[in-house]
Amino acid sequence: MSYPGPASGPPQPERPRRLRRGPLTVALAALVPGALLGWVVYEAVGSSGGDSGQAAVRPATGSPSASGESPLTSPSGREGREGHEDRKGQDDKKPGASAGPASTASAPAASGPLRGKVVVIDPGHNPGNFQHTAEINRKVDIGTHSKECDTTGTSTNAGYTEARFTLDLAHRLRALLEAQGATVKLTHDAGSPSWGPCVDERARIGNAAHADAAVSLHADGSAPGNRGFHVILPAAVHAGAADTRPIAAASRDLGERIAGNFVRVTGEAPSNYLGGGTGLVTRKDLGGLNLSTVPKVFVECGNMRDSTDAALLTSGAWRQKAAEGISEGIVGFLRGS
């Protein structure tokens, strides 16, 4: 999803008519450039708060005015996920090489409790994956085995895609964390790269950034009636290029804090079909977790195929709450409180 800027600039002043050069004319000629300059500055500053198309966020304050985004029809509808536990193993979700710039980084804030901390946000999938099926189906090594570079992700029955959801949520989460002083990097952003990155590259971006915490954002595609969120934690994997043993405990701490705050802020219940009501699931088949050397979790914010969950996921106000819940979990983890 792209986030275009304003469609048009400020109106241009009309060209003044030719006047006789008298004393008053000369005085006016001297004043007009200054007035125009002041007008331009006013327009640049006063208009900067307009909606650029990105999720407008006011750090730590309420919800945006927009109630949701218009649906983007998925060319393939349900993308052929596997069922329940095994299905999300395909979502990471699929490993492979990078298809573009490594990351999108924010400038560190001048102050705040998270100054000096680095957070990597990984918006699951990419809106362009539908047009690059050959690339995302290429196999990559995730340590324990090989699997596809990525998948298209799922969507609501009305066509609102997981990839659009995760990008919007990532922008909201980034704004909240930057307001706390953190340096935030995204594994990809709107239109760059045009597909992917593959899941092995997503893990490497967090590793290269020496992230203090990394969070991959998703929404599930399970059967109707399956509701709620869950946080996926890395198992203690040691195989091939994968060794999550050094990060397993810290990742669990991060995941538990996110789950607790997600419930409190959003009111969304833990998954009724995974995790035994805890909202926590441990996995060893996701490349984005297996190859991470920094504390990392996946957050499945709800089930897009359930109409009740879909109504939440497509609401801008609810997505703001989701960003706040995840942010507060990350802040608690990084501050140890």
Give catalytic residue positions. Answer: 300
Q: For the chain, first and last CA: distance in Å? A: 36
CA 331, chain centre distance (Å): 17
Kind and range of the H or E element at 176?
A: helix 162-179
Residue 150, CA distances (Å) to 199, 205, 271 in order: 6, 15, 24
CB 230 within 8 A of CB 277: no
CB 81 within 8 A of CB 165: no
What residues have CB less than 8 Å from 103, skipping those under 6 apart? 120, 185, 186, 187, 188, 205, 209
Measure the CA–CA gap between 54 and 6, rounded to whole angstroms.
11
